[in-house]
Amino acid sequence: MSTSDSTVEELDVLVIGSGFAGIYQLHRLRNLGHSVKIFEAGSALGGIWYWNCYPGARVDTEGPIYQFAYQDLWKDWEYQALYPDWSEVREYFDYVDRKLDISRDVRFNTRVESAEFDTERNQWVVRSSDGATTRCTYLVPCLGFASKPYVPTIPGLDSYRGISHHTGLWPQDGVDLTGKRVAVIGTGASGVQVIQEAASDAADVTVFQRTPNLAIPMGQRTLTPADQAAIKAELPERFASRASTFAGFDYDFTPINAVDLPEQERTAGYEELWEKGGFRFWLATFQDTLFDQKSNDYAYTFWRDKVRARIKDPLLAEKLAPTDPIHPFGVKRPSLEQNYYDVYNQDNLHLVDLNETPIETVTERGIRTADGTEREFDVIVLATGFDSVSGGLTRLDIRGTDGTLLRDKWADGISAHLGVATAGFPNLLFVYGPQSPSGFCNGPTCAEIQGEMIVEIVEHLLCNGHQRIESTPEADQAWSEHVAELVGPTLFTKAKSWYMGANIPGKAIQSLNYPGGLPLYQEKYAESKANGYAGFRIS
Which of 16, 29, 190, 28 has its CA nearest to residue 106? 16
Q: What distance in Å separates the CA atoms of residue 267 and residue 279, rounded to the nearest whole number? A: 17
Mark the ranges of the chain whose per-residue pLDDT is less than 70.
Answer: 1-7
Class of domain 8-148+387-470: alpha beta
pLDDT of residue 7: 65
- In angstroms, the CA 139 to CA 107 distance is 15
For residue 251, the SS3 value is: coil
Are the beta carbons of 471 and 416 closer than 8 angstroms? Answer: yes
Which pLDDT value is given to residue 1?
52
Q: Which of 404, 523, 435, 425 is nearest to 469 (CA)?
A: 425
Residue 238 phi, psi (nearest 5): -65, -45
Say what angle helices 443-463 and 518-530 make with each other, to 10 degrees.
0
How confident is the model at residue 46, as a pLDDT?
97
Of 399, 391, 365, 424, nearest to 504 by C-alpha is 391
How confident is the model over 299-348, as pLDDT tens digits? Answer: 999 999 999 999 999 999 999 999 999 999 999 999 999 999 999 999 99
CA–CA distance, 18 with 144 (Å, rounded to integer)? 10
The string over 376-408, giving b where at least 16 C-beta atoms fall within 10 Å of a residue's C-beta and e elsewhere, is ebbbbbbbbbbbbbbbbbbbbebbbeeeebbee
Q: Which amino acid, 117?
A: F
Half-sphere exposure of 195 (CA within 13 A, CB side): 33
Provide the residue ranges of all domains of the chain, joining segments of one domain with +.
8-148+387-470
- Residue closest to 133 by CA, chosen among 149, 106, 110, 151: 110
